[in-house]
């Protein structure tokens, strides 16, 4: 119980600090101390925001935070927002999940939440256990899905999105490293295809508006809901 309270406290502090930094600078800034700095890694594989036609995802296998296999069939019938990050991220990840919660809440108010999901993919499998990942994502929203796997599995999955990440060593404390990672939100449609990328800074209302247009274009997915 105490460990959960401590973790929730750390997340809350990260959110508050990230909001303050964001408001003061208007930029996604990193934590500044003697260790390495977290920063966004740009997407090199793709240069467009919308993909026409959408890009089908290849076979992959991950594990969700409930211990169940997450493979391509889990995308079928659902529109899924995907974000790559890690639970020790000081600023970018908590703010992205706050924004995704705002998007998710907006979907709920529009009564189209039944087949809209949010998946947080950990790029730090060494520290993000299933239990820890579950606690983290549920802090932002109980419906959010945490995903992880071996480094090879994560590399394969992230590569299909053009998402990049790299561990930044901390010479003073090897266990207190940060991870540079892509900070964009990805959107997968109900057929398991990469449809769009929303780069930071994220504006929930804009994401919702564009998402609704994409649902109108490609279908809501209820017909193939599993």
pLDDT in tens, 46-81: 444 899 899 999 999 999 999 999 999 999 999 999
Strands 145-148 and 165-168: unpaired
Residue 68, number of CB atoms within 10 A of its CB: 11
Q: 10: pLDDT confidence band, cut at 50, 70 and 90?
A: low
Strands 79-85 and 165-168: unpaired
Q: Does 32 reside within a domain?
A: no
Q: Does 216 reside within a domain?
A: yes
Q: Does 95 reside within a domain?
A: yes
What pLDDT, on a 0 to 100 scale, did the predictor assign at position 169? 86
Q: 114: pLDDT confidence band, cut at 50, 70 and 90?
A: confident
CA atoms within 13 A on the CB side of 174: 1
70: CATH: 3.40.30.10
Q: Does 219 reside within a domain?
A: yes
Phi, psi of 30 (to 5 degrees): -105, 170
Q: 7: pLDDT confidence band, cut at 50, 70 and 90?
A: low
Q: How many domains does the chain have?
A: 1
- In 3D space, the residue among 133, 103, 134, 136 whose CA is nearest the CA of residue 118 turns out to be 103
Please answer whether residues 48 and 184 qualify as being in contact, where contact means their C-beta atoms are separated by less than 8 angstroms.
no
Query: In terms of residue numbers, what domain contains 8?
Result: 2-27+38-224
Q: Does 81 reside within a domain?
A: yes
What pLDDT, on a 0 to 100 scale, did the predictor assign at position 130? 97
pLDDT digits 0-9 by tens, 209-223: 899 889 989 987 765
Give the mean model confidence (pLDDT) for residues 18-45: 39
Q: Is the pLDDT of residue 29 over 50?
A: no
Q: Does 88 reside within a domain?
A: yes
What pLDDT, on a 0 to 100 scale, did the predictor assign at position 25? 34
Q: Does 56 reside within a domain?
A: yes
pLDDT digits 0-9 by tens, 157-188: 999 999 999 999 888 888 889 999 999 999 99
pLDDT digits 0-9 by tens, 117-157: 999 999 999 999 999 999 999 999 999 999 999 999 999 99
Which pair of tokens denotes residue 41?
């890694």
Q: 26: pLDDT confidence band, cut at 50, 70 and 90?
A: very low
Q: How far is CA 136 from the centre of its chain?
A: 12
Name the strand (E) or helix (H) holding 16: helix 2-25
Residue with tokens 């169940």: 68
CA atoms within 13 A on the CB side of 221: 24
Q: What is the Cα gyration radius of the chain?
A: 17
Q: Does 33 reside within a domain?
A: no
What pLDDT, on a 0 to 100 scale, did the predictor assign at position 8? 56
177 versus 11: the higher-pLDDT residue is 177
Residue 205, number of CB atoms within 10 A of its CB: 10
Residues 6+ apart with CB under 8 A from 93: 83, 85, 86, 87, 120
Global confidence as pTM: 0.80
């Amino acid at each position: 119980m105490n460990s959960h309270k401590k973790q929730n406290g750390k997340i809350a502090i990260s959110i508050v600090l990230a909001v303050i930094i964001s408001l003061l600078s208007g930029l996604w800034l990193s934590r500044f101390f003697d260790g390495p700095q977290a920063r966004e890694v740009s997407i090199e594989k793709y240069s467009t925001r919308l993909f026409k036609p959408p890009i089908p995802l290849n076979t992959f296998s991950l594990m969700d935070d409930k211990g169940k296999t997450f493979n391509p069939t889990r995308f079928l019938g659902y529109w899924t927002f995907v974000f790559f990050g890690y639970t020790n991220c000081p600023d970018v990840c908590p703010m992205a999940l706050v924004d995704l919660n705002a998007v998710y809440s907006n979907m709920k108010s529009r009564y189209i939440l039944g087949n809209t999901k949010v998946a947080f993919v950990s790029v730090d499998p060494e520290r993000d256990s299933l239990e820890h990942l579950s606690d983290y994502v549920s802090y932002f929203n109980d419906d959010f899905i945490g995903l992880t796997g071996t480094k090879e599995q994560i590399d394969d999955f992230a590569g299909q999105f053009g998402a990049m990440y790299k561990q930044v060593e901390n010479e003073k404390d090897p266990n207190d490293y940060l991870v540079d990672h892509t900070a964009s939100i990805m959107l997968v449609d109900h057929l398991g295809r990469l449809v769009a990328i929303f780069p930071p800074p994220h504006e929930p209302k804009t994401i919702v508006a564009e998402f609704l247009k994409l649902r109108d274009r490609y279908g809501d997915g209820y017909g193939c809901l599993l």
